[in-house]
Amino acid sequence: MTKFGAILLVALILFSSAAVSSLGQGASPCPTQVLTPNPARSGDLVCLVPQVYGPGGLVGATNGGPLDDTQGHQVHFQASSVRSFGPINAEIGVQLSQLPIAAPVAGFIFSGGVVTPTNSFGPILTDRAETLGRNKIFVSLSYQYFNFDKADGVNLKNFGAVFTHEPEPGVCSIDPTDCLDGEPIYTRDVIATQNRIDLKVHQITLVGTYGITDRLDLSLAVPILDVRMGISSNATIFNFEAPPVNHKFANAASPFYGQFFNTGYSFGMGDITLRTKYLARQAEKYAVALGVDFRIPTGDPNNFLGSGTWGFRPFATYSARVGKISPHASIGIQGNGSTVLAGDVTSQPVTKEHLPNLLTYSVGADGSVSKKIGLSADFIGGTLLHGSKITTSTFTDFGGNTHADILTSFDTINLASLAAGVKFNPIGNFLITANGLFRLNDAGLHSKPVPLFGLSYTF
């Protein structure tokens, strides 16, 4: 135990040091105000959406945008685009940082050095109360694929967003020509967009569990992520001033219509989770365990590989034995710190906000079909407390044209999923796992069915 504990401690120190250094970064990777000529796009995925129109956003070409430079005022659509796209970026970042992973549940339980009879090989994405056994080691490797298609019911493959011009009251005080209600007519101009976001994540998770005693386990989960993301936007300028108009696209086939693209990729380690679980009550037909998950911010939040903040989740797990079936249930509360993913990555310096706390709960059962095959099914729920959400809306411009738009709010977000899978024991203490995760509602970041394949062994 001493050797294994020392290895865990060294790994924890190394990972924590890397995480602390990354958390100290305060400069924005994608500021909204670009003052240098010919700026370059950031390579960070968190900047992919804000910089789809260029490194400077919806500004003039001199400052890294797609629009013609204007005379007498700056092009002020940038703040509106940040307000519209920012919540989508935040929701993607927040929920990518909390992807489900294969639980550190061994298919075999030992007590006193011998296998304790159980009804199955255990659940896959949830937990059970029984611990592994003194001096026993469990290792697993699993693969999951996420293909995200919605956010709060909004179709990420086709959604509208309207960007409005900022006020310019000082212009009319100097020259009242073409003004209305103290504002130039051109401030009524809008840019209407139709957008598509493609987001796919491959996640490989390495899990190790060590039985310190017959009642106490220590686990370490290390996710490795491959994140691929792209955004396309078709933008149309609606001008309402008399010619010559102020707002046009530079270097485009049409001065009032443009097509824009931005793609990115990241690969690396995500946030490591360290878990300790204690078997508090062991009876003949049921067991209760208490545990704590510590999330260490080892993943790069600017590339959607991690949360960018520490996390702490106390939980309780119950499991029982009813014939050939093992019902189980768990509940926990994830407390989080502050991160740029919940704040504004475009501000200089970046602003951080509290990552929404998450109430987790699950109920399900696992059982055996034969000595070699076990089945598992679970309802998995989560409640994001004061999370950001988007809804579809419409916007009517100064000329009476109606455009598809999105609105942002903060609310309690209830996530519901169903997991079902099978474990196969070909030989010894070796298990092969296959599982599917299916979302039951559209709340939060929604993925198409998530497959999981895994291998595990208990020593």
Report all structural domains of the chain as residue ranges with CATH numbers, in order of start. Answer: 2-458 (2.40.160.40)
pLDDT tens readout for residues 204-229 = 999 999 999 999 999 999 999 999 99
Tell me the C-alpha distance between 113 and 159, whole Å.
58
Structure confidence at residue 111 (pLDDT):
57
Average pLDDT over residues 115-141: 85
What Å distances lie between residue 426 and 107, 186, 433, CA to CA?
A: 12, 71, 11
d(CA 264, CA 228): 6
Q: Distance between alpha carbon 422 and the CA centroid of its chain, in Å?
A: 27
Q: What is the pLDDT of residues 29-59, one digit of tens each?
A: 777 665 566 678 888 999 899 889 988 888 8
What length is written for the chain? 459
CB atoms < 10 A from the CB of 115, how many? 13
134 versus 350: the higher-pLDDT residue is 134
Question: What pLDDT band is residue 16 in, cutting at 50, 70 and 90?
Answer: very low
Is a pLDDT exceeding 80 seen at residue 375?
yes
What pLDDT does 79 receive? 80
> For every residue of the chain, which 3-state class applies, written as one string?
CHHHHHHHHHHHHHHHHHHHHHHCCCCCCCCCCCCCCCCCCCCCHHHCCCCCCCCCCCCEHHHCCCECCCCCCCCCCHHHHHHHHHHHHHHHHHHHCCCCCCCCCCCCCEECCEECCCCCCCCCCCCCCCCCCCCCEEEEEEEEEEEEEEECCEECCCEEEEEECCCCHHHHHHCCCCEECCEEHHHHCEEEEEEEEEEEEEEEEEEEEEECCCCEEEEEEEEEEEEEEEEEEEEEEECCCCCCCCCCECCCCECCEEEEEEEEEEEEECCEEEEEEEEEEECCCEEEEEEEEEEECCCCHHHCCCCCCCEEEEEEEEEECECCEEEEEEEEEEEECEEEEEEECCCCCCEEEECCCEEEEEEEEEEECCCCEEEEEEEEEEEEEEEEEEEEEEEECCCCCEEEEEEEEEEEEEEEEEEEEEEEEEECCEEEEEEEEEECCCCCEEECCEEEEEEEEEC
Among left, alpha and beta (phi > 0; psi -120 to 50; other), residue 323 is left
Kindly state the percentage of the chain with pLDDT values over 90: 59
pLDDT (average), residues 90-113 = 77
**What is the pLDDT, as a whole number, of residue 204?**
96
pLDDT of 174 reads: 81
Q: Mean pLDDT score of the chain, rounded to an integer? A: 87
What are the tens digits of pLDDT across the range 406-458? Answer: 998 888 999 999 999 999 999 999 999 999 999 999 999 999 999 999 999 99
Predicted confidence (pLDDT) at residue 336 exceeds the cutoff of 60: yes
pLDDT at 403 > cutoff 70: yes
Per-residue pLDDT at 171 exceeds 90: no
Q: What is the pLDDT of residue 109?
A: 67
Whole-angstrom distance, CA of residue 70 vs CA of residue 295: 49
Q: Is the pLDDT of residue 7 over 60?
A: no
Q: How many other CB atoms sit within 10 Å of the CB of residue 33?
A: 14
Instruction: Tell me: pLDDT of 74 over 70.
Output: no
Q: What is the mean pLDDT of residues 313-342?
A: 93
pLDDT at 23: 45
* Backbone phi and psi for residue 4, each to the nearest 5 degrees, phi listed first: -65, -40
Per-residue model confidence (pLDDT) at position 60: 82
- Can you tell me the distance from the alpha carbon of 236 to that of 397, in angstroms, rounded to the nearest whole number? 13
Q: Strand 338-344 relative to strand 351-354: parallel, antiparallel, unpaired?
A: antiparallel
Listed range (63-67, 68-72, 136-140, 341-345) with the worst mean pLDDT: 68-72
**Residues 155-159: what's their mean pLDDT?**
96
What distance in Å separates the CA atoms of residue 255 and residue 245, rounded to the nearest whole number? 11
Place of tokens 């070699």: 372
| pLDDT above 90 for 254 | no
Q: What's residue 33's pLDDT?
A: 60
Separation CA 260–CA 450 (nearest Å): 30
pLDDT of residue 90: 82
